[in-house]
Chains A and B, each alone.
Chain A
Amino acid sequence: MSLPDLSALWLTLQLALITTIVLLIIGTPTAWWLAQTRSRLKPVFEAFIALPLVLPPTVLGFYLLIAMSPNSWLGGFWVSVTGDTLSFSFAGLVIGSVIYSLPFMIQPLQTAFEGPVKQAMRTAASLRASPLDAFFSVAVPMSVRGFVTAIVLSFAHTLGEFGVVLMVGGNVPERTRTISIEIYEHVETLNYGDAHALSAILLVVSFLTLLSVFMFNKRYPAHVRV
């Protein structure tokens, strides 16, 4: 059996990495706000963020297809700025993946930011640490486990993404043909050799990714006390 084309695997790893970085940047302040807020709207935001857990990817994919069309404001804006359509592009997949994996980043972080971290932050504030300073020198080190879980789950969940990519990707080689799409196509064209090889690779990569988080969690307690 010859080695299948691995470009889809690299594309998928890039997508997962970029998605995770974007999620870390927008997910951290959001999770922090959710952990601190006493707003009556908190459950509304929490439910909204958890939606991708229960919605079928077809619903998300359908809305994205509408939103990314050059006829819509988002798609039209994107075309006027980049000259390229958002659908069928790598950037479009990043946006889809960020939404799709949002709860996997925010929920572990929010859990980590609640509880003892709040107490420690109050202590830091009483010692006149600036909020930002306190966040990075107190909250972040105390929430290492939450960060690792959030990062690994977001990454792994994006690796396994299928439905949304199928609906808005357009199966373009080296741009939107991710490994899950490639496997699907191999199965449908009865090309089982390549389907087996790529599936095995994805299985091993996913397992190792998850193994890393469980091994890490075993070594680290849920909250590191200062």
Chain B
Amino acid sequence: MFGALANCSEPQARSTATVAVATNFKPTLEQLAADFETRTGYELETVSGSTGKLYAQIVHGAPYDIFLAADQARPKRLIQDGRATHQGRFTYAIGGLALWSPRKAEITPDSLIEPELSRLALANPDLAPYGLAAMQLLDRLGLTETLQSKIVFGESVGQTFAFVSTGNANLGFVSAAQVLALPEDVRGSYWLVPRQLHDPIAQDAVLLEGSGQNQAAVAFFSYLQSPQAQETIRLSGYRIE
């Protein structure tokens, strides 16, 4: 199917698509992109950042073809504002939130109230859906007030991850996929937050306005919904609807 698509395209014109991807999904996208490129001969370029940051860039006309957000709100808003095409907003992954530390000591919800905890990192909730989910969890556990002075904000879930992995923060809320992507010997310990403790992190994909003619973009958009792609996404630590 993809080979056929590649054959009927005008390869010189638009054989490359640019995908704006929320940081948490970047490692998975790289795997998917490699597979997609060998299957079809199209090329993908990726730009990653927090969902909020990418959204702001798109609103200002950033030349992206596909937006893989970490929430549903921003893709919806892009469609409402006519910046994304109506057809085909879909949930490509449902993310899991993890409380993570690179140390081996077992992480449980109680780790949040241990006195040794001096810095808890989470992604900026105004920009990053994983940060928002972490705040919802802390609210639900009644810990927001207690932990206020210990919370530091990463610009995206990627920076949050870096704060924890360099040891600057003892603990951090990151995406389960980021943790699972680590080699086992440096994975440390994590608590996978039960999903009923925060709003689901449903991650939506949209095709951006003007990219409907980009064959590479259209092909990748449908590849993302293929069983092979979904299998890769599931293996990376996401759920699929």
Contacts and interface: CB of A to CB of B under 8 A. Distances in A.
Given A66-B166, A188-B56, A85 B127 contact: no
Contacts of B180: none
Contacts of A84: 118
Contacts of B119: 85, 87-88, 170
Interface stretch (A68-76, A118-126, A204-212): A68-76
B124 A185 contact: yes
Please indicate which of the listed interface residues A68, A79, A85 has the most CB atoms of chain B within 10 Å of its own CB. A85
Nearest to B57: A188
Interface in B4-62: 50, 52-53, 56, 59
B168 A172 contact: no
B52 A188 contact: yes
Contact of A171 (B153, B162, B167): B153
Given A170-B154, A185-B124, A69 B59 contact: no
Contacts of A168: 168
Contacts of B127: 185, 188-189
B126 interface: yes
Interface residues of A, number: 23
Contacts of B166: 65-66, 69, 71
Contacts of B152: 88, 170-172
A168 B126 CA distance: 19
B168 A190 contact: no
Interface string B142-159: 000000000111110000
Contacts of A172: 151-153
Given A65-B166, A85-B118, A88-B119, A171 B124 contact: yes
Interface residues of A, dominant DSSP:
loop
B163 interface: yes
A189 B168 contact: no
Please indicate which of the listed interface residues A69, A75, A88, A171 has the most CB atoms of chain B within 10 Å of its own CB. A88
B121 interface: yes
Contacts of B162: 65
A187 interface: yes
Contact of B121 (A166, A170, A188): A170
Contacts of B167: 69-72, 75
A85 B153 contact: no
Nearest to B102: A71
Interface string A11-32: 0000000000000000000000
B168 A68 contact: yes
A188 B59 contact: no
A28 to B, nearest CB: 32
B129 to A, nearest CB: 13
Contacts of B53: 188
A70 B168 contact: yes
B126 A189 contact: yes
Interface in B111-149: 118-119, 121, 124, 126-127
A170 B153 contact: yes
Nearest to B55: A190
A69 B168 contact: yes
B151 to A, nearest CB: 8
Nearest to A66: B166
Given A69-B168, A185-B126, A170 B163 contact: yes
Interface string B53-79: 100100100000000000000000000
Contacts of B121: 170
Interface of B: 50, 52-53, 56, 59, 118-119, 121, 124, 126-127, 151-155, 162-163, 166-169
5 contacts: A79-B118, A170-B119, A170-B169, A188-B127, A190-B56
Interface of A: 65-66, 68-72, 75, 79, 84-85, 87-88, 166, 168, 170-172, 185, 187-190
- Which 10 A-B pairs have CB atoms at the shortest separation, nearest pair first? A170-B152, A71-B167, A171-B153, A69-B167, A87-B168, A88-B152, A69-B168, A69-B166, A189-B126, A188-B53
